Copies of this chain bind each other. A is one copy, B any other.
Amino acid sequence: MLSKKSILDADSLSLEDIKLILSNADSFLEISRRDVKKVPTLRGKTVINMFFEPSTRTRTSFEIAAKRLSADIINFSPLTSSLKKGESIIDTLKTILSMKVDLIVIRHSDSGTVKMVDRFVDIPVINAGDGKYQHPTQALLDLYTIKKRFGKFEGLKVDIVGDFLDSRVARSDMNLFEKMGMDVTIVSPTMFLPEDFSGMKVKHCIDDVIEDADIVYMLRMQFERQDRKFYPSVMEYNRFLTMNMDRLGKMKPGSIVMHPGPVNRGIEITDEVMDTSGELAEKIVIEEQVTFGVAVRMAILYLILG
């Protein structure tokens, strides 16, 4: 059993919650590798995917996770719904609840909407990304990916590279990484940092950390979430922050490169790195993150509803 009914942010996950989710993920990972990728665990449960922002990875990941557990999943698409008729989100929720839904997976562009929803409803809510605030299931699958590669967390050096300020992934990851005893450094120009970053270890260039890192976590540039104009130029970004073949080659044995996807090729990561094969390709774990994402979400749905 998890300590809370809902998963709203990384901060409120206890160490026990995290360990429980990660250890359950193992058995659910095995299901996705079977020939018959389905168990009857959540038969007769109704899960609703409320995505107020477009998404491939996360929405489909939850949909596949729910279906492999035999739950009924309803995709609620706000664009074709009554919200067009000016219905308030609260009244929409009341409707959904009245249909006896068991769990809400929600993504919304406004930070805080998810917490408001959770306060309002009695059933569990999973935050699938809210504005610039949090994306806890991403952080959990990131942890699981690290666990599978390193077998431990304590003392691992992780560098989170890029636009920290606009990234919900960064905020959730940083919290869980530190909670698990990892040594976190942010690699960002000042304009991508919060006003007060005195409590954080900060570097401004990826070259300062690349040789020593166990994990280099590349953040997605959220062009759609930025009000400002793009950081001086792509050329400047490439000079200080981009993962390229040269930098990849300097990384130590066993170290890895992560990214929450989708990658802006040529910005966070070059085409050469994305398409490399051979020995260095093993360092790029972006696809493992996606695979583990389904397993972690199955574990979460099971622990909440099972």
Contacts and interface: CB of A to CB of B under 8 A. Distances in A.
Interface of A: 32-38, 43-46, 54-57, 60-61, 63-64, 67-68, 72, 74, 76-77, 79-88, 91-92, 94-102, 224, 261-265, 274, 286-291, 293-294
Contact of A36 (B44, B68, B86, B94): B44
Contacts of A54: 80-82, 84-85
Contact of A60 (B99, B262, B289): B99
The number of times this chain is found in the oligomer is 3
A1 to B, nearest CB: 16
A291 B34 contact: no
B92 A56 contact: yes
Contacts of A36: 43-45
B37 A98 contact: no
Contacts of A96: 60
A99 B291 contact: yes
Given A37-B45, A44-B36, A67 B57 contact: no
Contacts of A94: 286-287, 290
A77 B289 CA distance: 22
Contacts of A61: 99
Contacts of A74: 60, 63-64, 67
Contacts of A224: 85
Contact of A72 (B35, B64, B81, B264): B64
Contacts of A265: 88, 91
B44 A100 contact: no
A56 B50 CA distance: 12
A287 B98 contact: yes
Contact of A37 (B46, B56, B263): B46
B291 A91 contact: no
A287 B129 CA distance: 28
A92 B287 CA distance: 11
Contacts of A288: 98
